[in-house]
Amino acid sequence: MALKIRKNQSPAALCPVGECMAFLRGAWTPNIIWQLSGGARRFSELRNDIKNISAKVLTQRLRELEELGVIHRAVMSTSPPSVEYSLSELGEELMPAIAAIISVGHRLKQRAAKAAA
């Protein structure tokens, strides 16, 4: 006897989990958010903090995050002018999820180290 297929309660197109995961899809997006959680950072500081990211990709991700309202971009009136990026209120709301991912990542690294030993 075949099991009856149950219908999902919410349409997949409106799934908030899918929406958030699509946003975090970029390989560097969580890293950028994590680095900005410590406070405002300039472009060059983010480049130094996030190893192996190219300037092109960092620029693209920062623009995407700004368009989505996750970060603020502030142009400083210095000579020469500089730009600082910081988390918006929406970006701050992502921090518990990013912190949970980091916590699991630490545990996975520990298990891998124990398995290799």
**Domain definitions of the chain by residue range:** 26-116
Domain range 26-116, CATH architecture: Orthogonal Bundle (1.10)
* CA separation, residue 15 to residues 11, 23, 26 (Å): 7, 13, 19
Q: What is the pLDDT of residues 25-43, one digit of tens each?
A: 777 999 999 999 999 999 9
Q: Where are the strands (E) in the chain, listed by range?
A: 41-42, 71-76, 82-87
Q: What percent of the chain has pLDDT over 90?
A: 56
The answer to whether 66 touches 87, Cβ cutoff 8 Å, is no
What is the structure's pLDDT at 46? Answer: 96
Q: What is the pLDDT of residues 30-87, one digit of tens each?
A: 999 999 999 999 999 999 999 999 999 999 999 999 999 999 999 988 888 899 999 9
Q: Where are the strands (E) in 7-112, listed by range?
A: 41-42, 71-76, 82-87
The answer to whether 68 touches 89, Cβ cutoff 8 Å, is no
What is the structure's pLDDT at 35? Answer: 94
